[in-house]
Structure formats: C-alpha cells, structure tokens
Amino acid sequence: MSYFKFWEACEKGDISYVLNTISSIENINKHNTKGWNAIILAAFNHHIEIVEMLLQHGALINSGNANGTTVFMYAKTKVLENDNYFFLDLLIENGANINLRDTKNNWTVLDYSKQIGNAKLIHYLIEKGAQ
C-alpha cells in the first residue's frame, strides 16, 4: 500500500480509493515529507466524507504538522473561501480543540482569524469557545 497514493486520494477527494484502501493503511496518522497527514490533507480541501472515514479509522482530530498547525486551523482556510461552517461544526463535534496553539507563532485559530480580519469567523470561533 502506497501512502503517497492514499494521501493524494485524501487531498483530491477520491472517496472510492480511500474507501477501498483505508483498512490496509498501517498508520493512518503518518505524516508526509511536508508534515501533513491524511486528515490534514482531507480537511484542508474540505473533503468531509473522507475526514469522517479517517476519524472512524483512528485519525487524530487534533493532529498537526511540523509547525503544530492543526486540522481545524487548516479547515478554517476553506471556510474563508466557501463560507461553509458546517464542516467546522463537524470537527468540533468530533473533539477538535479550537484553542490549540501552533509551535511556529504560538497562535490559536482565533489569533490567525484576527490577523485575517474576518469578523464572521472571529464571531463564530468566540461563540464556540475560542480564547
């Protein structure tokens, strides 16, 4: 089983490939050379069904890359483009900690959202308990 092909399927949203290979993945949380793993790739690209499959197979909802950028931090990036907060709700319902800090800047997702200046996202995060 090739991790590269699996990661690529998670990134591109190839549900069929992920479904057919996920049970043969030895380490669902393994990171690629960029420090991303399957759930980060799927979350960044808002492939909700794949994220749900990964969680059912033991993916860590609070996983982060080498800089500590979390699944939730990556997921919020697409929310800024598509205004779909359902996905963030799903992550929170599955245990995403929205107050984790990255190791690069020691920032939370709220800090990044304030830097971007998106009032709707900031309000959403505070409403969900972000500090």
Our count of domains for the chain comes to 1
Q: pLDDT at position 2, please? A: 87
Q: What is the pLDDT of residues 67-110, one digit of tens each?
A: 999 999 999 998 989 998 999 999 999 999 999 999 999 999 99
Burial 94-129 (b: 16+ CB within 10 A, else e): eebebebebeeeebbbbbbbeeeebeebeebbeebe
CATH number at residue 88: 1.25.40.20
Print the domain residue range for 86: 3-127
